[in-house]
């Protein structure tokens, strides 16, 4: 009895809410006025847009926003577009300075962010895009860094395009876990081919991944590597960074060797000299010689400690003699080997 009047009474409000809801849904599902829409596809190419269109149909699978003036991608609006498979934002002025991710775009397989103003890629940037196959980042000259873990969550990636960016280094680890990666475009970057680049250049040559225009991909820095293709740079770096010794190093090594040699010779000579001085019967002081002769006739009768001492000294002098002969040999060899 009661609810009928109440429902009748409140029905205008209900209708307003319903109408608003309908309008919102309709807006959400209707094509943005600047763009053209076909089945599941919204095309806003080259419409001088400065802001992201707010009324993109939620079921859209393909969204083209290329050649506009978009400075950023709005997180919230984008997070509703969970049917999106293909997103083209190329030729805009997108920066994504914040730790950006693409929440909700769980079905996205192709993302084109080429020709924008991206500066770096972190492990968060694409962390939500687990289905991504193709990523186009080419033509972002301000992009100087791609973090090692940047594609950690994008294990399906098959194509990556970073042609024409500002990269001077990349780490092989960035791509090593991408088992499905087939094509990686890295041309026209200011590659800095110093020793830090060696590991990456080695990986470039041994991996199965294809690098289109690899022969034309060249180093920019340092000066003496400028213009060298990355393939040639690898061999050059291998020589420069792994086996190369500077002239100072050779001098240092020679000096150390000579010191060891001199020290050894000196010690050998000293030990030999002392041994001879101590045991030579005629050079011995008179009283010790007599005592030695009268008490102990021969080595076997020397006291135990004396015997040990003698044996040690004999051994020492033998070693020393061997060493000095060796060094003399080395000396002669050096003399023979020395250029006339
Ligand atoms: C963006 O990249 C995709 C694939 O990488 C390509 O199909 C598309 O044509 C590109 N957009 C423009 C405007 O070149
Ligand atoms: C990336 O996009 C550019 C145009 O913005 C296009 O020329 C290039 O072919 C695309 N790269 C790939 C791998 O599709």
Which residues lie across from 320 on neighbouring strands? none
Overall CATH class of domain 30-190: alpha beta
Burial of 185 (0-12, 13-18, 19+ CB in 10 A): buried
Q: How far is the CA of 183 from the centre of ligand 2 (A)?
A: 12
pLDDT band at 4 (very low <50, low <70, confident <90, very high): very low
Predicted pLDDT of residue 297: 52
Q: What would the mean pLDDT of 262-289 be, rounded to a whole number?
A: 79
Rounded Cα gap, residues 259 and 123, in angstroms: 54
Range list of H helices, 92-188: 173-176
Predicted pLDDT of residue 99: 67
C-beta of 134 in contact with ligand 1 (< 6 A): yes
215 phi, psi to nearest 5 deg: -65, -25
Q: Between residues 310 and 79, which one has the greater pLDDT?
A: 79
CB atoms within 10 A of CB 249: 10
Cα separations in angstroms, 278 against 117, 273, 288, 320: 87, 9, 11, 16
pLDDT band at 19 (very low <50, low <70, confident <90, very high): low
Q: How far is the CA of 158 from the centre of ligand 1 (A)?
A: 15
Ligand that lies nearest to the alpha carbon of residue 139, given by its number in the listed order = 2
pLDDT above 60: residue 125: yes
Residue whose structure tokens are 């820095």: 221
Of 151, 231, 161, 223, nearest to 190 by C-alpha is 223
Centroid of chain to Cα 52: 36
Predicted pLDDT of residue 295: 52
Q: How far is the CA of 98 from the centre of ligand 2 (A)?
A: 25
Cα angle, residue 303 at apex, residues 302 and 307 outer, rounded to 5° = 70
pLDDT above 80: residue 326: no
74 phi, psi to nearest 5 deg: -75, 120
pLDDT above 50: residue 277: yes
Q: How far is the CA of 87 from the centre of ligand 2 (A)?
A: 13
Over its C-alpha atoms, the chain yields an Rg (Å, rounded) of 41
pLDDT above 90: residue 130: yes
Predicted pLDDT of residue 104: 86
pLDDT above 70: residue 50: yes
Centroid of chain to Cα 320: 53
Rounded Cα gap, residues 333 and 340, in angstroms: 13
Strands 191-192 and 183-185: unpaired
pLDDT band at 2 (very low <50, low <70, confident <90, very high): very low
Predicted pLDDT of residue 335: 46
Q: Are 66 and 43 in contact (CB under 8 A)?
A: no
Residue whose structure tokens are 């080259």: 46
pLDDT above 80: residue 13: no
Ligand that lies nearest to the alpha carbon of residue 64, given by its number in the listed order = 1
Range list of H helices, 98-246: 173-176, 198-206, 230-237
Cα separations in angstroms, 274 against 130, 173, 266, 269: 81, 64, 12, 9
| This prediction's pTM | 0.69
pLDDT band at 139 (very low <50, low <70, confident <90, very high): very high
Burial of 156 (0-12, 13-18, 19+ CB in 10 A): middle
Strand boundaries in the chain, DSSP class E: 36-38, 41-43, 62-64, 86-88, 110-112, 120-121, 134-136, 145-146, 159-161, 183-185, 191-192, 219-221
Residue from 44, 63, 90, 159 whose mutation best tests the ligand 1 pocket (most atoms within 8 A of CB): 90
pLDDT band at 334 (very low <50, low <70, confident <90, very high): very low
Least confident of 14-18, 75-79, 200-204: 14-18
* Residue length of the chain: 340
Which residues form the pocket of ligand 2, taking CB atoms under 6 Å from any ligand atom?
90, 112, 114-115, 136, 138, 159, 161
Q: What would the mean pLDDT of 296-306 be, rounded to a whole number?
A: 52
CB atoms within 10 A of CB 48: 9
Rounded Cα gap, residues 318 and 322, in angstroms: 6
User: Any idea where the domains of the chain sit in the sequence?
Assistant: 30-190
Q: What would the mean pLDDT of 250-263 be, rounded to a whole number?
A: 90
Predicted pLDDT of residue 96: 79
Name the closest-CA residue to atom 3, ligand 2.
Answer: 114
Predicted pLDDT of residue 49: 94
C-beta of 112 in contact with ligand 1 (< 6 A): yes
pLDDT band at 101 (very low <50, low <70, confident <90, very high): confident
Q: Between residues 116 and 289, which one has the greater pLDDT?
A: 116
CB atoms within 10 A of CB 153: 16
Predicted pLDDT of residue 172: 93
pLDDT above 70: residue 299: no
Least confident of 195-199, 220-224, 274-278: 274-278
Predicted pLDDT of residue 337: 45
Average pLDDT, the chain: 83
Q: How far is the CA of 144 from the centre of ligand 2 (A)?
A: 19
pLDDT band at 149 (very low <50, low <70, confident <90, very high): very high
């Amino acid at each position: 009895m009661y609810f009928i009047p109440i429902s009748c009474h409140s029905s205008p409000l209900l209708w307003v809410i319903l109408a608003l809801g309908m309008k919102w849904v309709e807006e959400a599902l209707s094509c943005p006025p600047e763009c053209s829409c076909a089945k599941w596809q919204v095309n806003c190419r080259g419409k001088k847009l400065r802001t992201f269109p707010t009324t993109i149909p939620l079921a859209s699978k393909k969204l083209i926003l290329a050649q506009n003036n978009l400075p950023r991608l709005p997180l919230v609006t984008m997070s509703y577009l969970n049917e999106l498979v293909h997103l083209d934002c190329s030729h805009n002025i997108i920066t994504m300075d914040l730790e950006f991710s693409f929440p909700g775009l769980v079905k996205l397989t192709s993302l084109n962010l080429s020709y924008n103003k991206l500066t770096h890629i972190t492990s968060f940037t694409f962390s939500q895009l687990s289905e991504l196959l193709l990523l186009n980042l080419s033509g972002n000259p301000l992009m100087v860094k791609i973090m090692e873990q940047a594609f950690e969550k994008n294990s399906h990636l098959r194509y990556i395009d970073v042609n024409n960016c500002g990269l001077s280094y990349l780490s092989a680890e960035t791509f090593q876990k991408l088992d499905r990666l087939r094509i990686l475009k890295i041309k026209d970057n200011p590659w800095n081919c110093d020793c830090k680049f060696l590991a990456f250049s080695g990986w470039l040559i041994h991996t199965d991944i294809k690098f289109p225009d690899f022969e034309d991909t060249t180093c920019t820095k340092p000066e003496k590597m400028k213009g060298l293709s990355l393939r040639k740079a690898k061999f050059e770096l291998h020589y420069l960074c792994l086996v190369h010794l500077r002239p100072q190093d050779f001098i240092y090594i020679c000096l150390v060797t000579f010191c060891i040699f001199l020290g050894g010779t000196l010690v050998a000579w000293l030990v030999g000299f002392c041994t001879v001085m101590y045991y030579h019967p005629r050079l011995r002081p008179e009283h010790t010689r007599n005592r030695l002769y009268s008490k102990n006739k021969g080595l076997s009768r020397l006291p135990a400690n004396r015997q040990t001492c003698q044996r040690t000294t004999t051994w020492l002098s033998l070693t020393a003699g061997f060493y000095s002969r060796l060094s003399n040999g080395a000396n002669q060899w050096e003399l023979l080997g020395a250029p006339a």
